[in-house]
Amino acid sequence: MFHKEGQNIILTTFMIVLALILIANYYIDILWLKWLVQIGSLVILILILQFFRNPRRNFIQNFDEILAPVDGKVVVIEEVEESEYFKGKRKQVSIFMSPINVHVTRYAASGIVTYSKYHPGKYLVAWHPKSSTENERTTVVIKTPKFGEILYRQIAGALARRIINYAEEGTNVQQGSDAGFIKFGSRVDLFLPLDAIITVKLNQKVVGAKTCIAVANDTSKDD
């Protein structure tokens, strides 16, 4: 299953690869060069297909848990000052996605979108400390039943050139459902309340809509 954001790229790549294979077959007489062109073209197609894959994830919605919004590796767990929306301290958990990871962004929790904004910017490598505030990015805030408002930020990396964000202010969203896509390498930052209990560790690999990132400290909380 492939993400809808990759349909045009996949179709275009398929047509180009098919043309290269046919051209190599009929017009290149040197055997090793013919095989090089044909195998190389197929490898490129396979890489594109892998990048835009959208595996189905079976999960049970849980208001007491924040699930990973993307596949990748945890690269930051720290208390920071979030200056765009909260203008106060929050726990930040950042997940880095390599080009071979699934790049679908999924809602980490169910709730109402209270803020959604796109920011143009630079294309620093995704693990750069300033990428969170200087790179192309989108910021989305969801008001949840147990955690109050949580914020996630899609951040473009050195290779990424387009961020897709489906979150619209005022809409109800469901944990684990499709929230967007980031093309070719990136990261996602989560900003959670200070009393949230983080359940992942640095360098841990996480799976979108499956791995629990944090649990509510007080399950009776209803902000």
Q: Under 8 Å CB-to-CB from 148, ≥6 apart: which residues?
A: 193, 221, 223
In the structure encoding, which two tokens stand for residue 57, read together?
């994830």
Inter-residue contact 135 to 124 (CB < 8 Å)? yes
Give the integer Cα–Cα distance in Å for 47 and 29: 27
Give the mean pLDDT of 144-156: 94
Q: In the 8-state DSSP scheme, what is residue 43?
A: H
**Structure token digits, residue 105:** 């962004």
> Which DSSP state fits 2?
B
Check residue 57 and give its pLDDT: 78
Q: What phi, psi does 55 have (nearest 5°)?
A: -65, 140
At residue 219, does pLDDT exceed 60? no
Q: Give the catalytic positions in this structure.
A: 186
pLDDT in tens, 117-149: 999 876 665 555 555 666 788 999 999 999 999
pLDDT 10s digits, 64-86:
999 999 999 999 999 999 999 99
Question: Could you tell me the pTM of the whole model?
Answer: 0.81
β-sheet bridge partners, residue 66: 214
| pLDDT cut 70: percent of the chain above it | 87
CB 106 within 8 A of CB 137: no
